[in-house]
Structure 1
């Protein structure tokens, strides 16, 4: 069965981009290769040239083909997508509902929400990356039967355990990821030994413009105001060996997001036996999961509350017994993580179903 995968072109490293790329490769490994069409543009706010480019891509796909569209590309442009809905078998993959991006003006969020609803209701099928996200999309947009295909995770070597002081945050530098909350929490821990490395692209690294430069400037001001310049380092995006080195040199992953549909960096940390301190939002509890004995390999705190995050980090930094317990649980959870082949099999089942209809 022919399948076309439509994704955003290029851009900085992101969970959605990693999902698209690894899913494509895993489908090929199952003997189900998908022809990738990467479309340039500042999605979900493309200029006329980008809209025309997507229109040309869809127009060039033969009738009856199953087309798997990244929601970042599809959901903001119903006027481009809907003319093809009757002749193509459209499946939309929602990484993050467009209106859930933190910091959007209310009118813009409402506009994106309506555009997304129009696209999703016209699609043959909708796929989300967690059970929470599937319920959220189905209930919010009035769609039945949203499929769930959770991200896989690549096997990785165990990271050596340190004294607990090495904190790592892997997240795009955008308001949704909560770096301001993290900095405020760390400022309350000045009496303890710790170092924090923040890995992820910012505004100037993102073709989608998802990290406003004003937010980055605010974070730099907060680092200075809290006196954290010697203890917090923003590296920008890292990939390959450099990212592996960042994980290997950390004791605890911290993810202070205000919203997440899954949180792939959580399972990336667990694949290395690294415990997690994260906000209890969206699909993060699903990603964190439980080990075989029913223990959680990390700490969950409410979103947007620096005091709660500071309390969790203080317990981690001052509690050797807690650190040992969470490390054991993280290593146990590591054994039960699913790889990308499982994700590809799940997606293939959705695509096969739509191809047969």
Structure 2
């Protein structure tokens, strides 16, 4: 491999790492869940937009998040693409802006409602990355709201026939993603404290953070169960409410298993324990969204979508996640790249997944 080809390969790997392929599929499933629960027009292009627009926005959010995170990552995660020099900050910023432009074009084409939701989501991503993440629970709630906005975007794309059935699911996804994000902060305590962040585990300890996250998760499961029970049943769909509640129960079992690894511990959790719990939640939330898809579209479409998403997420997470979060194992050389300039001093944020 020539030097030029080697640099291109290194840059490509840096971009793929920035995308976090193990988190990439969830938000598109949320858009499809909203489209199914909304019960409006289900033309193929509407469903494609319900999936693609949140997914593109998710990728753009990672680019911009890493751009804004570069100072903190230089302290605690210097192996990541930008601080390691494998991805230029300007390239990350440009890719993030390009993704947001694409989201804007698709959202405007969908109408005023989708355009407004896209603006709110973009504002939420920027506000989270620029400061809310460092301020504790408000940052977790802001991050959790992005999942709800993705679901609402999917509903608006198909022109929903009713809004009341969506309210419970909006609460469910908000609480669920707040819980997941809060668990994610537990693995970043050392870096967040060094960067001057006042996250929940930094201020109150890991055990308190895990307990609050569990309360949000319980609220998410309860709201999702209520949503499934109050939504009018469609006798033409396979599975129906019974299938939905079964999938929800199986998914919740995985979620509670993740929390079971956190709560029995003392106040300070090992980083790898917190990371493993979040890895379980990354897989669990695909099933959480898949259950809602099953309620709106039927059990078979849900299985067809969820199984590949779970497989790809599990495989990429097993291969990439620990190295991305914790760095390469001892004795393993870091990926080559130009030496980055020292980042300017100042606050930054950490991984929003």
Q: TM-score range by the shorter chain?
A: under 0.3
Normalised TM-score (structure 1) = 0.25
Bigger relative CO (Cα 8 Å, ≥ 6 apart): 2
Structure with the higher fraction of residues in strand conformation: 1
Structure with the higher fraction of residues in helix conformation: 2
